[in-house]
Structure 1
Amino acid sequence: MTQIAIILGSTRPGRRVETVARWVAEAADRHPAIKAGEVSVELVDIADYGLPLLDEPAPAATGYYQNAHTKRWAARIDRFDGYVFVTPEYNSAVPAALKNAIDYLWSEWNHKAAGIVSYGLYGGTRAAEQLRQTMAEIKVADVHAQVAINPFIDFDFTESEAGACAPGERQEALLTTMLDEILEWSRALRVLRDPTASADPRFVPT
């Protein structure tokens, strides 16, 4: 089964990333491959891992992790075939906490696919572009389709001041396309992650 992580990319108190990620998960559950049980989707919140400012003495590319928090984070990320990064835009960039979490690891990210759901005043597009540069460096294939959430358009403020993420059909259609691309690429890259595997999980060698 193909496993996809929805990564919550902010740790700020009062963050909106939780409501955006919940919308992503709920919309993803309506994707045909997920409904058919061919793909699983899990929320992964970097706030749950208590990662301090990068404190590993050896570069991540060595794979020599000394700290328990790093090993725990590495084990979780390594399980997945692809990712959906949910990120706000802070000062035209991704949150420092997200960049820090990415920088902790290396091989666990390699040869996988990722999509980006960004949000902010301008849809978080500048943060998404910065994140694409980082994806290239850690050998992650970032897909073309992207969802850009604008709080003034895609949030419902009728029940609370913080609002709830409630995008329209167009945004869900974009998310479905993005998931299609993540699944295509994650399956194609399977042979790089495991040379004995087939790029098509439905193919069983005889």
Structure 2
Amino acid sequence: MSSTSSLRVLVIVASTRPGRLGPAVADWFVAATRPAATEGGITVEVADLAEIGLPLFDEPAHPASGSYAHEHTRAWSRRVAAADAFVVVTPEYNFGMPAALKNALDFLYHEWSWKPVGFVSYGNTSAGTRAVQMTKQVVTTLRMMPIGATVALRLADDTRDGRISPSVKLDDAARAVLREVDRVARVMRPLRDSGDTDPAGPVDGLRLAPARGDDLAELLVLQRCCWVQEALANDTLDLPPLRETLDDLRASLSTWRLWCVRRHGRLVAAVRARADGDTWLIGRLMVAPDQAGHGIGSWLLGYVEAQAPAETTRCALFTGARSAGNIARYERAGYARGTAGDAPDGSVRLTKSRQSVG
């Protein structure tokens, strides 16, 4: 294992029923792998779904939007997003995974992407392996990478009095799982860190990437089309997005980060952002009028919020004071309106704590 950079592995205890063996299995895994983790610069943490207590999936927006209405989702998002890899400790219920595990996976989307996952299963005849096979079908849809190394514990052979029986063979198997998730997580790290990957969007054919010089003319046309509705809603043509020239847009590349979204090659959405002290300013969020209503805007907002530098503590954006539809959408995404004077005449400023960002 390489110790060139730190890596975080989250061990997820999938069972939530009283009398479960899961916590004992997780404790054994952490203890068995502790020396190797220390040597390799790996932090191993445990997330017990019984303690976390997620309700049945209750978010109104699609998880791919990254727009979360509830603090329990945001807390789970922060924990999963901070991890580089996962080890799932799971029993088998009726030839499948526990419902609590499926529910925990379903709450999020981007936070799981481009990360490896290993398994420690336990049970009777199959030692929980059928639950693992079922879970693999789900995690690959989340763009996770199931690894080959596993541990499968047969209760009659490998446990005694509610604990894992001492075994050099099992300890070696646990270390093999850790070694493999470590190796794969480090290889996949560029996919997680890259700014021009394609987070799965709410509709097919979307390609999200930083804006380039040859995008700008098309972006300016899209911007003017989108802000016609704003001009009508606010009864004015004196709006900065309508006054902006191609030279202005080109100059903005030196002070703003811009992203474009194409669908089957056509530019359909865009957004910009920059840090201003402790605030991540988000601007010019736009979706082509004929593409509105499909969740692209919410998805793009969630993406740009996630790009905020660590030193920022809040996100902020502006919209027209009479843009009721926009204001309602941002408030549903967790933003709150500031007081009068926080924004230029004719507009409102909305802010959101980064602790509330998914």
Q: 1:156, CA displacement in angstroms?
A: 1.5
Q: Aligned runs of 1:1-206 on 2, under 5 Å?
A: 1-31=6-36, 34-36=37-39, 38-121=41-124, 122-157=126-161, 163-195=162-194
Q: Contact between 1:23 and 1:166, CA under 8 Å: does it hold in 2?
A: no
Aligned to 2:174, what secondary structure does the other structure show? helix
Please say which structure displays the higher CA radius of gyration.
2
Within 1, Cα distance between the matches of 2:141 and 2:170? 28
CA RMSD of aligned residues (A): 1.2
Within 2, Cα distance between the matches of 1:167 and 1:17? 17
The 3 A distance-change label for structure 1 pair 117 and 167 is farther
Counterpart in the other structure of 2:301: none
Q: Larger deviation: 39-48 or 182-191?
A: 39-48
Within 2, Cα distance between the matches of 1:140 and 1:96? 19
Aligned to 1:108, what secondary structure does the other structure show? helix
Q: 1:125, CA displacement in angstroms?
A: 0.5
When the two structures are aligned, how many residues end up with a matched partner? 189
Taking structure 2 as the reference length, what is the TM-score of the superposition?
A: 0.52
Q: Give the residue type in structure 2 aligned to 1:12.
A: R
Q: Contact between 1:153 and 1:167, CA under 8 Å: does it hold in 2?
A: no
Identity of matched residues, %? 39
1:56-96 CA-to-partner distances (Å, cap 9, x unmatched) read 11111111111111001101111000010000101111100
The 3 A distance-change label for structure 1 pair 53 and 4 is same
Name stretches of at least 5 consecutive residues in structure 2 with no aligned partner: 1-5, 196-358
Q: 1:167, CA displacement in angstroms?
A: 4.9
Q: 1:37, CA displacement in angstroms?
A: 5.7
Higher strand share: 2
Q: Give the residue type in structure 1 aligned to 2:10.
A: A
Q: Which runs of 4+ in 1 moved over 2 A?
A: none
Q: Contact between 1:6 and 1:86, CA under 8 Å: does it hold in 2?
A: yes
1:144-172 CA-to-partner distances (Å, cap 9, x unmatched) read 01100111011123xxxxx2122522222
Q: Contact between 1:78 and 1:108, CA under 8 Å: does it hold in 2?
A: yes
Within 2, Cα distance between the matches of 1:170 and 1:195? 39
Within 1, Cα distance between the matches of 2:151 and 2:35? 16
The 3 A distance-change label for structure 1 pair 37 and 185 is closer
